[in-house]
A and B are shown apart, each in its own frame.
Chain A
Amino acid sequence: DSGVTQTPKHLITATGQRVTLRCSPRSGDLSVYWYQQSLDQGLQFLIQYYNGEERAKGNILERFSAQQFPDLHSELNLSSLELGDSALYFCASSGTGKSWTEAFFGQGTRLTVV
């Protein structure tokens, strides 16, 4: 168990809808990362938050947004969903000092858009 919790594990929704994925980082970790794993693009970085502030953006679509709350949990919001958004979405967290270099991943949320 990595200590990173993602909910829900599975999500099926229709095109055009909006969903929210939730991530609770490991205790004490200030950084949260979101990644998307799709057949077309592989595993790619979407966005990072550090202690509530956006730190870095990757290949994240404008229809997607994220935030990190004061209790450090994070949510990834996906809107106007398309079939191509079907993917496995991972959250990872890392700490400070030596531990920042190890990113621990949650079990992922499998999103299916129909």
Chain B
Amino acid sequence: AQKVTQAQTEISVVEKEDVTLDCVYETRDTTYYLFWYKQPPSGELVFLIRRNSFDEQNEISGRYSWNFQKSTSSFNFTITASQVVDSAVYFCALSDLSSGSARQLTFGSGTQLTVLP
């Protein structure tokens, strides 16, 4: 069965610091997809990125970057020059083929990021 572990429950940083959120996953499939979602205090889930298991290139989008390493089953998320508006709960999620053609997501427990002014 698939599993996603976010060992960091809470992280606090001061504005402009860089911060990395860790995500470790388990799956028996060779084809799978990894996601990051942001949940701000308002409660909605905001899609940030999707990465498939065959693409190990790191990705950068503005202040956000993602480091995917299959060898360690990790998909870490870094925010550079953090801002107060980055304060939210961040979820890592996995979608694989173990459930057949279904595409449901298995979420980690989330990391509460607080960026202090």
Contact = CB atoms under 8 A, between A and B. Distances in A.
Interface of A: 2, 31, 33, 35, 42-45, 48, 55-56, 58, 88, 90, 92, 94, 100-108, 110
A26 to B, nearest CB: 12
Interface of B: 33, 35, 37, 43-45, 47, 50, 52, 91, 95, 99-107, 109-110
B44 A55 contact: no
Given A44-B107, A94-B103, A105 B33 contact: no
B102 A48 contact: yes
A55 B101 contact: yes
Contacts of A56: 99-100, 102, 104
Contacts of B103: 31, 33, 48, 94, 100-101, 103
A102 B47 contact: yes
A55 B105 contact: no
B104 A45 contact: yes
A99 B61 CA distance: 20
Chain B: interface secondary structure?
A: loop
Nearest to B44: A107
6 contacts: A42-B110, A43-B110, A48-B104, A88-B43, A101-B95, A101-B103
Most buried by A among B47, B104, B107: B104
Given A2-B47, A42-B109, A42-B110, A101 B52 contact: yes
A45 to B, nearest CB: 4
A108 B44 contact: yes
A24 to B, nearest CB: 15
Contacts of A94: 103
Given A42-B110, A43-B110, A44-B107, A105 B102 contact: no
Contacts of A92: 45, 105
